[in-house]
Amino acid sequence: MSRRIWLPLGAVVLVVNAVQWVVSEGVTAAAWTDPPYSYASNYVSDLGVPDCGTRFQGRDICSPDHALMNASFMAEGILFAIGVVLLARLVTGRTRRVVVGLALAHGVGMVLVGLFHGSRGGVSVGLAIHGGAAAVGILCANTLAIIAGSLPSLGLPWAYRVFSIAVGALGLLSEAFVGVSAGTAGVFERGGVYSWLLWSCVTGVLLLAGRSRRPAVVENVAV
């Protein structure tokens, strides 16, 4: 597959991935009306819980369109992994292997997030898988953003590299404050999720805009 195919394809996949998540989340949140869904206090994961009219960890749960959100979680993992793996051709050696490994780990994590969810049953194997998978997905995606900012081979502007490192670091930092207050848990969780979605969209748009240059080999070290 030539660069003229895999580069724009990878870029488009990253943009589509971010858009489908935001749209699915908005539609699912709008369907949650009794009581109204709160972007500030409800977790994103609450949108995928099938139980309705229950309370879980102190939060009212009722997501009529939970199937849409769970499908979006899984689609995000698959699309993100595909997009990053395609664009990983811009780097070589260990760097490429690390990038591909993080992308695949994120993909598996997000698919598991869509398959397993929290319920009124409290702590369970399914909830443990969900929480662990979400942590892996968030960690890997934000780490990828930081790595991307350190690579000149993407051929993107210096300002993009600063943005990429900053957004990834802020995403990881935001997750550290999720448990500070129940009223802001959703805000900080989204800080760790929207960071990589924003990174995906900006990276894809810039590459599609033709602002990349011929990639240079940044690392070619054998294991």
pLDDT tens track for 96-115:
999 999 999 999 999 999 99
| 62, β-bridge pairs | 52
User: How many Cβ atoms sit within 10 Å of the Cβ of residue 154?
Assistant: 23
pLDDT attached to residue 118: 67
Q: What is the CA radius of gyration of the chain?
A: 18
pLDDT attached to residue 217: 35
pLDDT in tens, 151-197: 887 778 899 999 999 999 999 999 989 878 877 889 999 999 999 99
Is the pTM higher than 0.85? The answer reads: yes
pLDDT higher for 122 or 216? 122
pLDDT attached to residue 212: 44
Task: Classify residue 33 by burial, with Cβ atoms within 10 Å: 0-12, 13-18, 19+.
Answer: exposed
pLDDT above 80: residue 81:
yes
Strands (DSSP E) contained in the chain are: 52-56, 59-62
For residue 145, give the nearest of 199, 80, 87 by alpha carbon.
199
Q: Is 79 left (phi over 0), alpha (psi -120 to 50) or beta?
A: alpha
Within a 13 Å sphere around the CA of 197, how many CA atoms are in the beta-carbon half? 19
Identify how many contiguous H helices and E strands the chain contains and give both numbers.
Answer: 6, 2
157 upstream amide cis, omega within 30 of 0: no
pLDDT above 90: residue 9:
yes
pLDDT above 50: residue 223:
no
For residues 150 and 167, give the distance between their C-alpha atoms in angstroms, rounded to a whole number.
13
Asked if residue 53 lies in contact with residue 62, where contact means CB atoms within 8 angstroms, the answer is yes
Name the residue type at position 117. H
pLDDT above 70: residue 68:
yes
pLDDT above 50: residue 221:
no
Asked if residue 65 lies in contact with residue 29, where contact means CB atoms within 8 angstroms, the answer is no
| Coil vs helix vs strand at 55 | strand
